[in-house]
């Protein structure tokens, strides 16, 4: 038990130390940070990030986050750069070099090339008096008081702070560029967010031929059977012309039975239905349709064509498609 307690205390102390150091960096955000964000948003080339070792791993993540927000960015390994990959750099590119000490040899060797080409250099370092900081146009302070590593050797807190500062930078750029959900989805077409944002209601809806359709004079008992058999938690009521007239849900049935009791069996669909339900077009994006359902507190939407005829039903989430859902 004592060993377990010690392990848990070590883990908690690591988290406390790193959290404290990340919060401390909020005080170091100044006008220079804003100038850096402006430089990135105004850059006509690419935002190139380089770092060695653990700093390189952090650089890759920062670059990936910026790319997901639409900022053209890539990671340049400093050793590979020094052996030919500098040919990937253009004069309009903006450079970000990460080194906690600010004296990483592989990073410093690259600076003369960037300066000769005319690239502006942003540094992320824990030493504002280092060679890297002094040869940068802008500097982001990622200094810490202590590492979470008890030996003060392995980069732990320092890499966490660098990563958090990179996230602050990426999100600030995203906000400055006015990136919305639709833009984000464009770069994530394989994810669930991308599917919701890019797919239309017509791509996800349950078509009319799979939806229980009733008429005004359908009896309450027949309506109940239709809803149960349809396994969608609802049924549509149409007029004789094929236009939408209303809907009946499981919730409606329960409430009507409690209210009417034995008189329930004498009712018709027209007497039980909710008239003028919320409808959407098949051309609406699924993401926007789900926002409507969130706002209204409902789990399905009726989909109608431009002529008012029923097209289908959109469940709240695509993974629930075809399963019974209660409204």
DSSP 174-231: HHHTT--HHHHHHT-TTSHHHHHHHSBHHHHSEEGGGS-EEETT-BHHHHHHHHHHHT
Residue 194 is predicted with a pLDDT of 60
* Residues in CB range of 268: below 8 A, 6 or more apart: 216, 217, 218, 219, 220
Residue 326 has a pLDDT of: 33
Strand partners, 139: 123
Q: Are 286 and 318 in contact (CB under 8 A)?
A: yes
- The angle, 0 to 180 degrees and rounded to 10, between the axes of the packed helices 31-42 and 157-176 is 60
d(CA 110, CA 51): 11
Per-residue burial over 46-83, b = 16 or more CB atoms within 10 Å of its CB, e = otherwise: bbbbbbbebbbbbbebbbebbbbbebebbbbbbeebee
Q: How many Cβ atoms sit within 10 Å of the Cβ of residue 103?
A: 13
Enumerate domains of the chain plus CATH numbers. 2-179 (3.40.50.10490), 201-320 (3.10.580.10)
What pLDDT is stored for residue 323 in this prediction? 37
**DSSP structural state of residue 273:** P
Q: Print pLDDT tens along the chain (327 aa).
A: 678 888 999 999 999 999 999 999 998 899 999 999 999 999 999 999 999 999 999 999 999 999 888 899 999 999 999 888 999 999 999 999 999 999 999 999 999 999 999 999 999 999 999 999 999 999 999 999 999 988 877 889 999 999 999 999 999 999 998 877 665 666 555 556 666 667 889 988 999 888 888 888 889 888 888 888 888 888 888 876 677 888 888 888 888 888 888 888 889 888 898 888 889 999 998 888 888 988 888 888 899 988 888 888 998 764 344 333 333
pTM score > 0.85 for this model? Answer: no
C-alpha to C-alpha distance for 319 and 109, rounded to whole angstroms: 53
Q: How far apart are CA 63 and CA 75, in angstroms?
A: 6
Q: What pLDDT is stored for residue 82 in this prediction?
A: 86
pLDDT of residue 320: 40
∠ CA 121-125-128, nearest 5°, is: 90
Contact criterion met (CB below 8 Å) for 49 and 59: yes
pLDDT of amino acid 318: 44
Q: Residue 201: exposed, middle, or buried by beta-carbon count in 10 A (0-12, 13-18, 19+)?
A: buried
- Helix, strand, coil: what percent of the chain each, to 5? 50, 20, 30
d(CA 262, CA 230): 24
Identify each DSSP E strand in the chain by its residue range.
47-51, 73-75, 94-98, 121-125, 138-141, 206-207, 213-215, 234-238, 244-249, 274-275, 279-280, 300-304, 310-315
Say if residues 152 and 127 touch (Cβ distance below 8 Å).
no
Give residue 325's pLDDT: 35
Q: Distance between CA atoms of 70 and 228, rounded to whole angstroms? A: 47
């Amino acid at each position: 038990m004592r060993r377990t307690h010690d392990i848990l205390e070590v883990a908690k102390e690591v988290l406390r130390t790193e959290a404290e150091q990340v919060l401390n960096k909020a005080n170091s955000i100044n006008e220079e940070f804003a100038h850096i964000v402006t430089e990135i948003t105004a850059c006509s080339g690419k935002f190139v990030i380089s770092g060695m070792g653990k700093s390189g791993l952090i650089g890759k993540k920062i670059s990936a986050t910026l790319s997901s927000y639409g900022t053209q960015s890539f990671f340049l390994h400093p050793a590979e750069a020094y052996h030919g990959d500098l040919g990937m750099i253009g004069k309009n590119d903006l450079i970000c070099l990460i080194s906690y000490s600010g004296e990483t040899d592989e990073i410093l060797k690259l600076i003369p090339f960037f300066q000769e080409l005319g690239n502006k250099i942003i540094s992320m370092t824990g030493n504002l008096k280092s060679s890297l900081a002094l040869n940068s146009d802008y500097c982001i302070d990622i200094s810490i008081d202590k590492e979470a590593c008890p030996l003060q050797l392995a980069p732990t807190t320092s890499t966490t702070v660098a990563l958090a500062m990179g996230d602050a930078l990426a999100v600030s750029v995203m906000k400055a560029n006015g990136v919305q959900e639709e833009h984000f989805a464009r770069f994530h077409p394989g994810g669930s967010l991308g599917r919701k944002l890019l797919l239309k209601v017509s791509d996800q809806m349950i078509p009319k031929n799979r939806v229980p359709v009733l008429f005004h004079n359908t009896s309450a008992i027949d309506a109940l059977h239709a809803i149960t058999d349809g396994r969608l938690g609802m049924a549509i009521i149409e007029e004789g012309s094929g236009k939408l007239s209303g809907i009946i849900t499981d919730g409606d049935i329960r409430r009507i039975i409690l209210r009417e009791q034995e008189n329930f069996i004498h009712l018709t669909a027209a007497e039980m239905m909710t008239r003028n339900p919320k409808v959407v077009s098949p051309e609406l994006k699924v993401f926007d349709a789900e926002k409507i359902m969130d706002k209204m507190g409902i789990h399905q939407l009726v989909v109608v064509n431009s002529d008012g005829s029923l097209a289908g039903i959109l469940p709240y989430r695509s993974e629930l498609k075809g399963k019974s859902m209660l409204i």
